[in-house]
C-alpha cells in the first residue's frame, strides 16, 4: 500500500490504541481505487473492506448531488423557495428560506435531535427560527428534509430513488437506507442517546444512508474525473463547480462549526478552504457522526474514505490522516 503507508499506519494505530473500534481506509484517484484495507472489529465482528457502515452526514452530499442534478435539468434553482414544495412552511416567518439556504446551513430552521420523536417533517415545520435566512450559519440536518421535498416536488421522484439511479450508474451500487444489510454497529450510539432502529425508520436525507468504502471511492473517482472536465457523469463540470462555490462568506458561524474550524459551506459540500491544520486546502467533502469521512482533493488528484463507528473519538485528529494522504503524493 505504499506510498500511502503513513495513512494506513494512522488508521492501524488508532484501532490498536482503542480510539477507533474499526477502520476501513480507502484511497482513490480518477482512475479508481489505489489502496484499501481494514482494521479492528466490532464486538468480535472483524472489519472487512466491503463491509457496510452508517454514513450519517455523508448522506448530505449524496442528497446534494441529487438536488444539483435537478438544478442542471432546469427543474430547480438555488433561489427556489422551500414553500414551493411545502406551502405551509414558514407561515410565521418574515423571511424566505430558499434552496441555497437549505444546502449551506443558513436556513435558521431550529435543529432537533438526530432522531426527532415527532418525525422529520414535523420538526421541519416546527414554529420559530434561530435567525433570519442567510444571516448566519448553524449546522442543520433537518433542513435536508426540505431539500428532499424540493427534489420530489420538482422531479416527481423520491430523493433516494433518484440517488440510487445515478449512484448505481457511477459504480456505487451498495448505497441504501435499509439497515437489514447489517452495517457495523455504532458502539456508543445508545450511550449518546441514539436508537439506531428508530433512526433507520426516519430514512433521513441528511444522515440516513448506509454504504461501503468502495461505494464512496467510486463516487470520489467520478468527482475527480468531472473536475478534470469529464462530461456525462453524475453532474456536469459546471454543476460541480457551482457546488464548490462558497455560500457562507463571512457571516457568523455558530456551534459546532465555528469560524475557527476553517471551512465554508458550498452546495452541501464542506469546503475546508481555511482549515489551519491542512497541507492542502483545496478539498471538499463531508464527515459523518460516527467518524465516517469522505474527502476529495481535486488539485492533488486524490480522494479518500474512512469508515468507522464511534461517535466520541477523543485523540483522533482527521487532519493528521488528510495530511498523510496528500503528502504521499
pLDDT digits (tens, 9 = 90+) for 29-57: 999 999 999 999 999 999 999 999 999 99
Residue 143 CA from chain centroid, whole number: 13
* pLDDT band for position 149 (cuts 50, 70, 90): very high
**pTM for this predicted structure:** 0.97
Of all residues in the chain, the percent with pLDDT exceeding 70 is 100
- CATH at 228: 3.40.710.10
Integer CA distances (angstroms), 274 to 103, 242, 299, 321, in order: 20, 19, 16, 17
User: What grid cell was written down for 265?
Assistant: 459551506
Structural domain that includes position 239: 5-327
Question: pLDDT band for position 115 (50/70/90)?
Answer: confident
Which residues lie below 8 Å from residue 315, measured CB to CB, with a gap of 6+? 14, 17, 19
**In angstroms, rounded to a whole number, what is the distance separating the alpha carbons of residues 174 and 155?**
23
Look at strands 264-265 and 270-271 and give their pairing.
antiparallel
> Is the pLDDT score of 1 beyond 60?
no
Number of domains in the chain: 1
Amino acid at each position: 500500500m505504499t506510498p500511502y503507508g503513513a495513512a494506513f499506519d494512522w488508521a492501524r494505530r488508532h484501532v490498536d490504541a482503542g480510539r477507533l473500534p474499526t477502520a476501513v481506509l480507502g484511497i482513490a484517484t480518477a482512475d479508481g481505487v489505489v489502496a484499501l484495507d481494514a482494521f479492528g472489529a466490532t464486538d468480535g465482528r472483524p472489519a472487512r473492506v466491503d463491509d457496510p457502515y452508517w454514513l450519517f452526514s455523508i448522506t448530505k452530499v449524496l442528497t446534494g448531488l441529487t438536488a444539483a442534478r435537478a438544478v442542471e435539468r432546469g427543474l430547480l434553482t438555488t433561489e427556489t423557495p422551500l414553500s414551493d414544495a411545502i406551502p405551509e412552511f414558514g407561515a410565521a416567518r418574515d423571511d424566505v428560506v430558499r434552496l441555497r439556504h437549505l444546502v449551506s446551513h443558513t436556513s435558521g430552521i431550529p435543529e432537533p435531535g438526530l432522531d426527532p420523536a415527532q418525525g422529520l417533517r414535523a420538526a421541519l415545520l416546527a414554529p420559530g427560527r434561530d435567525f433570519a435566512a442567510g444571516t448566519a450559519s448553524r449546522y442543520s440536518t433537518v433542513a435536508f428534509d426540505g431539500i428532499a421535498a424540493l427534489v420530489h416536488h420538482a422531479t416527481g421522484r423520491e430523493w433516494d430513488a433518484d440517488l440510487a439511479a445515478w449512484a448505481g450508474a457511477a459504480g456505487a451500487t451498495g448505497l441504501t437506507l435499509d439497515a437489514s444489510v447489517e452495517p457495523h454497529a455504532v458502539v456508543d450510539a445508545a450511550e449518546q442517546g441514539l436508537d439506531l432502529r428508530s433512526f433507520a425508520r426516519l430514512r433521513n436525507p441528511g444522515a440516513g444512508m448506509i454504504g461501503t468504502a468502495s461505494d464512496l471511492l467510486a463516487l470520489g473517482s467520478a468527482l475527480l474525473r468531472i473536475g478534470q472536465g469529464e462530461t456525462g457523469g453524475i453532474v456536469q463540470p459546471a454543476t460541480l463547480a457551482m457546488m464548490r462555490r462558497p455560500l457562507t462568506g463571512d457571516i457568523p458561524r455558530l456551534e459546532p462549526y465555528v469560524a475557527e474550524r476553517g471551512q465554508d459551506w458550498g452546495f452541501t459540500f464542506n469546503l475546508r478552504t481555511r482549515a489551519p491544520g491542512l497541507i492542502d486546502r483545496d478539498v471538499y467533502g463531508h464527515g459523518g457522526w460516527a467518524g465516517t469521512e469522505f474527502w476529495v482533493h481535486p488539485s492533488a488528484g486524490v480522494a479518500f474514505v474512512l469508515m468507522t463507528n464511534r461517535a466520541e473519538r477523543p485523540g483522533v485528529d482527521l487532519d493528521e490522516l488528510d495530511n498523510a494522504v496528500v503528502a504521499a503524493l
